[in-house]
Structure 1
């Protein structure tokens, strides 16, 4: 799309009225030292519609008699754009500048009237010391080119009662971590890179991308040991600290109002048997018995009771008794 087409498109997108005439477009183009006759303005609009037609399957710009040109179909539907903007603004690992830049790119294809229909949420103010986009880009290119990565991996110390970011000293060379990267995965709204660190022979290592700093490619031998592993299985085991290798069928007694919460976590492949009144016995097959599951069950407090397996029930009792001891100790003090 050339310069003149860009500005014709821009004027139509940003027009606040019901439409903009070819004459108005022609006059506004002159502000940018672009001089077109009316016929060429019509031709530009026709080319813009041709450009977007394969995506939209209809014309983006329509002409209304005695009104002018207006956006008939936005590139993204309102719901699609709202979802994408919200996903950006609420992502905890993105700098505010990166959030704003990405949102601006999405909105550049949005009409004035669509922007007015959107709900704009303000991002939380977090002072991040890294760019997730830059980290991901560097890692993805390294994976494609089979290049070795060097980076620092952060830890925290307390200074003046505040947590301060410092590099971990457990790398290949003190604070320098050296890996051959294989794959990026996403778990729990965080990105991870899986690769090989020669400190851990015949094993895969996993690092959270938002904890990596000063990432760069270096001239070193790329070591590929992926054939030794079922990478899909390794992803499940290593990228989520809440994932457990121990799996079992669990049964929970809960109120009917909790069923939606259970579906949100486990999906619809569960069975529910009515016990009495609004109480149900829910059975979930082949579920990881993990710290994440236990923490989630404890968060639900007295809304749910573990019936099986017995080992999970015993562990829940231990956790509850430990918490009770902790608070009773406070009362003694």
Structure 2
């Protein structure tokens, strides 16, 4: 029998056909495989295709055949990702404010290629459930990559930083002056990506929204602030900062209703000590960055949480309440 045409592409096309058209619930027969290969202008006989299906295992694609009627049907039995795992990744991408709408759709289309066309439809349906606000800064992916490279090469970065004005226009902060920061890590908090770095001029650790950085470049200068970051637990830093707003770090004592035990544990972790106060309340000491966002969090929990100390923080809480009362009087 004459050798089929486009033989160099046969194994690649066979892998493509099996991955796109089969899964645990969808199978393909040998005549269907041959027909699909012909659509790609690849011709082959059954005998060589049987051998090729076995060869796919060398590419990490395991194909299983099972008898049906007078022949066999085939499907891919294992993939790098299961459908529930990909759904989880799709949800994470959609809920991430720092990923633009265009990039969200592009990433999901790439994830769809990891499953059959039938399972891909289940991922596509999820694209439309999200009406969440997304960043408009398309360069964020290159920004993140540059930050990681700067960290690995122990170098500073420089960038401009912007905010939105009432005209919905980008407005450069510090009159467009460049920020010179030593990057030490990235944190994902409240659906946003933050750079955590050392500001040598201010002599302290600061954080910046990555999607609000512009014209970021790697500097030739070596990073500074290593001694500060030796003492810093990145996860702990994010936990103490409400909405990643800075503030003076304080150990604050709270009186909390028992029903909010889960809320406190979710926020501060299981390592904190909940000390019974009475039958309905407990006290807890937590490290926080005292800010208006922290006070807002306390207010949102209503009468079920009260700040007991230190006195300075209690006084600040009272001032914030009075300010709100004046604002709405």
Q: Same fold (TM over 0.5)?
A: yes
Measured after TM superposition, the shift of residue 180 of structure 1 is 5.0
CA contact (8 A) 2:275 2:284 kept: no
Please give the residue correspondences for 1:55-134 in structure 2 after superposition, counting only pairs within 5 Å. Answer: 60-66=62-68, 67-118=72-123, 120-122=126-128, 123-124=130-131, 126=134, 128-134=136-142
Measured after TM superposition, the shift of residue 89 of structure 1 is 0.7
Measured after TM superposition, the shift of residue 62 of structure 1 is 2.1
Q: Of 244, 254, 267, which residue of structure 1 is paired with 2:269?
A: 267
Q: Secondary structure at the match of 1:221?
A: strand
Cα distance change, pair 245–251 in 1 and its aligned pair in 2 (3 A): closer
Q: Unpaired runs of 5+ in structure 2? A: 1-7
CA distance in 2, matches of 1:5, 1:70: 16
Measured after TM superposition, the shift of residue 312 of structure 1 is 4.3
Q: Secondary structure at the match of 1:75?
A: coil
Measured after TM superposition, the shift of residue 3 of structure 1 is 4.8
CA distance in 2, matches of 1:63, 1:175: 65
TM-score relative to the length of structure 1: 0.76
Specify the alignment match of 1:8 in structure 2: 14
Measured after TM superposition, the shift of residue 311 of structure 1 is 4.7
CA distance in 2, matches of 1:144, 1:179: 15
CA contact (8 A) 2:159 2:214 kept: yes
Specify the alignment match of 1:223 in structure 2: 222
Cα distance change, pair 47–306 in 1 and its aligned pair in 2 (3 A): farther
Q: What do residues 304-332 of structure 1 show as CA deviations (whole Å, max 9, x unaligned)?
A: 3445555544443332232122211xxxx
Q: What do residues 101-131 of structure 1 show as CA deviations (whole Å, max 9, x unaligned)?
A: 2112222111244335556143436461333
CA distance in 2, matches of 1:255, 1:227: 41
CA contact (8 A) 1:252 1:308 kept: no
Over the aligned positions, Cα root-mean-square deviation in angstroms equals 3.4
CA distance in 1, matches of 2:198, 2:277: 50
Q: What do residues 186-217 of structure 1 show as CA deviations (whole Å, max 9, x unaligned)?
A: 3443333345666x175555432111112234
Specify the alignment match of 1:318 in structure 2: 319
Q: Which moved more, 1:285-294 or 1:89-98?
A: 285-294
CA distance in 1, matches of 2:190, 2:83: 26
Please give the residue correspondences for 1:252-263 in structure 2 after superposition, counting only pairs within 5 Å. Answer: 252-254=255-257, 256=259, 258-263=260-265
CA distance in 1, matches of 2:267, 2:162: 31
CA contact (8 A) 2:99 2:135 kept: no
Q: Secondary structure at the match of 1:46?
A: helix
CA distance in 2, matches of 1:315, 1:27: 75
Q: Unpaired runs of 5+ in structure 1? A: 53-58, 329-333
